[in-house]
Structure 1
């Protein structure tokens, strides 16, 4: 890819609502693929790809392949961020969707350990890397595309639409997973039926591409071209935001990722293998909580646009810390009622901080380096938080024999994020919400002192 020439005529502006819905559709499909893998890693892959290991070691190995995807995400974020700032948001988002679809579809056809032995987990890891690279390019880009099309005063609302793709993808993945299991039966599903949801990715990606190709390029990127503001190394330029702000932004968002993946992935393995809950019950409970997560994001983003992000984000950080302290004690009762309450609570609390973290990260950077800078922070947070969380939780559970260590791990990382958020908003005081002006806009930007 090369830097595009300055256009004689910009593309006609797309309706902001249509662009927001297109980014929601694309992120939903990408997260469907990513979460489908997480669910399969928790419930299936230990038997199919690591049968020679003990159940505990097999689960840890399966979660390790899950973590590989997170390690690959920064690579995707850096590559797609570079070209997104030099070539445009639209083209990179199309390629990222293709990569994710190809990786997921091929997972649906790879042989298992019983067929090709050692090479089965190797192929699984390779395709997981492809998935990670694709999602690494998607996360920041979709948020920017929607936010940069946003009407005045609605940046948080429009930046929240791609964030809704996370719970929507989880709901879609879990429903397809449960539906296929119900149609094939447990034995057949464990043997071969688990492949069907992955093969369905091909159809979904075709639909997603048809939607995404109709979206016009970001107005902010058009302005970058018109002002001849494309830089050769956008990632290096983005670092001018300064280490204190970059570090505090990273710390502020890392807990949300860690807590979300313990809730969405680790809980499935823990609840079925340690507490004896029915698999369908847990998957349905997580799915119901994800519906709450999805439905409340527009509410909280409107609150952020009207009243500001600071109080809402810090209050949400306190709430998620408190709920993490209660989460596993509720689950450990072994009863269905407290388990539903624990999971539903996560579905209500996680979106308070998740819905605006994309806009907080994006507003750290000017338009001409925003894709690269946002990808750096977002993917680093994903590794430190979500990528390691299921594996660390499993190791803590195996070493301590109870969920107490996992609870302390979540509380500690939430405490770090809360401290980071408080320090971040002190470093960069929030612009009054009613002015509807971002602190760092497209027209003028200076690195914080």
Structure 2
């Protein structure tokens, strides 16, 4: 069954200038997720261990600071449920605004947080709490920014419009890298330790004007308004979309298992491979960071290309092709890295990212098309974030454990390939129901 017709044609009434504003706002909102991912991960390895966990040995301090990084992933499903509930009940726009404000406040407060030497054990406790708030905010941002774009898309371009907000991943990672490079270059080591590390977090205040822009200039999505009108005509009271999804979890679980290959492959390339190459192969950090960042260009271009193609030839076939490519290419990835040749390292990372892009591109729209409008924010977001917990939160740790336990990258390759097999099976089970606004409204009405 073709999946292009799942989203209601109500979005066809949106004017082109407004669509452009929506796309810009969606990219800006999504970029903060990976800006946060990069600056917190960088700060955790450079500074947070000594400033917030100084009473333990250096290795344990690094592990403790990275544990707070993982806590952010754990908060994502909760954020997907909380903001998904309100996004399906009162609108995509207000839910996204609330998530953006929570992220801006949490990240800014981390930049202002006193260290262990000032307030003692309260410092790491507050850091963990703020990190949880960040994770909750990220869990709500993805669904809001994606649906804001997707449900404003013209007919025949939903795959592309669903993927464009994901360019925020590229923007966020590049921005985070540049900010940290700038601060390390314009400050002394003492200045960076004292206040320079705080600047990247404080710059998150730019989310406040982004939130105001969305509030002032972006309209609620046409499809949500259509479902609201249908629900009002029926006179029913909306029940929780989260409860509805959890009572019938098949679609949500299919999203999680389908997407798990993309998340594991992505984080093996951008974090696991970086650690393996620098720690075990003694390749320079600058070499690996350059290769990873350049491979993100291949990821961005392939994401848009395959999203565009998915509007023409269908989403499931392209997604499945990306899964197969990722599962097979990982057996070439590590041998290429082990050559210690920059061009071959870049080739390995870039082809791997093309496989991920073939999943990211059509996957975003496909996951949302699996749910009716009344449960879409909750269902797609929770499935997506569960996959991120398994892939983003656990994959780097599992990779290190496999390398330490087996002393061979073949075990990691088998791990990625096994995840790809799970995703191939899951995507083959996906069925996209036909759009029916009235039934979508009825599903969340009492």
TM-score where L is the length of structure 1? 0.85
Q: CA deviation at 1:191?
A: 5.8
Gaps in structure 1 of 5+ consecutive residues: 1-11, 431-437
Q: What is the CA–CA distance in structure 1 between the aligned matches of 2:291 and 2:183, rounded to whole Å? A: 17
Paired residue secondary structure (1:227): helix
Give deviations 1:252-286, integer Å, cap 9, x for gaps. Answer: 11121122223233344444333333334333332
CA RMSD after TM alignment: 2.7
Q: Which residue of structure 1 lines up, in the alignment, with residue 7 of structure 2? A: none
Of 284, 296, 319, which aligns to 2:290? 284
Contact 2:147 / 2:377 at 8 angstroms: preserved in 1?
yes
Q: What is the CA–CA distance in structure 1 between the aligned matches of 2:54 and 2:348, rounded to whole Å? A: 32
Give deviations 1:355-413, integer Å, cap 9, x for gaps. Answer: 22221111111111211112221121111221222233333344445544433332322
Q: What is the CA–CA distance in structure 2 between the aligned matches of 1:257 and 1:170, rounded to whole Å? A: 16
Q: Which residue of structure 1 lines up, in the alignment, with residue 110 of structure 2? A: 107
Contact 2:230 / 2:437 at 8 angstroms: preserved in 1?
no
Structure 1 residues 156, 443: closer, same or farther in 2, change over 3 A?
Answer: farther
Structure 1 residues 329, 112: closer, same or farther in 2, change over 3 A?
Answer: farther
Q: CA deviation at 1:319?
A: 0.7
Structure 1 residues 401, 107: closer, same or farther in 2, change over 3 A?
Answer: farther
Q: What is the CA–CA distance in structure 1 between the aligned matches of 2:122 and 2:274, rounded to whole Å? A: 27
Q: Which residue of structure 1 lines up, in the alignment, with residue 8 of structure 2? A: none
Q: CA deviation at 1:192?
A: 4.3
Q: CA deviation at 1:54?
A: 5.6
Paired residue secondary structure (2:72): helix
Paired residue secondary structure (1:373): helix
Gaps in structure 2 of 5+ consecutive residues: 1-12
Of 281, 285, 290, which aligns to 1:275? 281
Structure 1 residues 185, 386: closer, same or farther in 2, change over 3 A?
Answer: same
Paired residue secondary structure (2:283): coil
Of 30, 33, 41, which aligns to 2:33? 30
Q: What is the CA–CA distance in structure 1 between the aligned matches of 2:156 and 2:428, rounded to whole Å? A: 24
Q: Which residue of structure 2 lines up, in the alignment, with residue 209 of structure 1? A: 211
Q: What is the CA–CA distance in structure 2 between the aligned matches of 1:418 and 1:46, rounded to whole Å? A: 40
Residue 170 (str. 1) matches residue 176 (str. 2) = no
Q: What is the CA–CA distance in structure 1 between the aligned matches of 2:347 and 2:429, rounded to whole Å? A: 32
Q: Which residue of structure 2 lines up, in the alignment, with residue 95 of structure 1? A: 98
Of 38, 42, 51, which aligns to 1:39? 42
Paired residue secondary structure (1:108): helix
Q: What is the CA–CA distance in structure 2 between the aligned matches of 1:335 and 1:188, rounded to whole Å? A: 36
Q: CA deviation at 1:327?
A: 2.5
Contact 1:171 / 1:291 at 8 angstroms: preserved in 2?
no
Task: Identify which range, 404-413 or 207-216, moves more after superposition.
Answer: 404-413
TM alignment of 1:421-440, pairs within 5 A: 421-424=427-430, 428=431, 439-440=434-435
TM alignment of 1:10-409, pairs within 5 A: 13=14, 15-51=18-54, 57-113=60-116, 115-184=118-187, 188-189=191-192, 192-202=195-205, 204-213=206-215, 214-228=217-231, 231-239=238-246, 242-401=248-407, 403-409=409-415
Give deviations 1:182-217, integer Å, cap 9, x for gaps. Answer: 323566545643222112111x21342243222100
Contact 2:88 / 2:375 at 8 angstroms: preserved in 1?
yes
Q: CA deviation at 1:442?
A: 3.6
Contact 1:63 / 1:390 at 8 angstroms: preserved in 2?
no
Q: Which residue of structure 1 lines up, in the alignment, with residue 423 of structure 2? A: 417
Matched residues, number: 423
Task: Identify which range, 115-124 or 304-313, moves more after superposition.
Answer: 115-124
Q: What is the CA–CA distance in structure 2 between the aligned matches of 1:410 and 1:33, rounded to whole Å? A: 26
Structure 1 residues 361, 45: closer, same or farther in 2, change over 3 A?
Answer: same
Contact 2:251 / 2:371 at 8 angstroms: preserved in 1?
no
Structure 1 residues 111, 217: closer, same or farther in 2, change over 3 A?
Answer: same
Contact 1:168 / 1:290 at 8 angstroms: preserved in 2?
no
Structure 1 residues 262, 298: closer, same or farther in 2, change over 3 A?
Answer: same
Paired residue secondary structure (2:153): coil
Give deviations 1:27-56, integer Å, cap 9, x for gaps. Answer: 112331233212333454445444555665
Contact 1:74 / 1:136 at 8 angstroms: preserved in 2?
yes
Structure 1 residues 144, 352: closer, same or farther in 2, change over 3 A?
Answer: same
Structure 1 residues 328, 46: closer, same or farther in 2, change over 3 A?
Answer: farther
Paired residue secondary structure (1:217): coil
Structure 1 residues 226, 150: closer, same or farther in 2, change over 3 A?
Answer: same
Structure 1 residues 247, 29: closer, same or farther in 2, change over 3 A?
Answer: closer
Higher helix share: 2
Q: What is the CA–CA distance in structure 2 between the aligned matches of 1:398 and 1:54, rounded to whole Å? A: 21
Q: What is the CA–CA distance in structure 2 between the aligned matches of 1:131 and 1:414, rounded to whole Å? A: 29
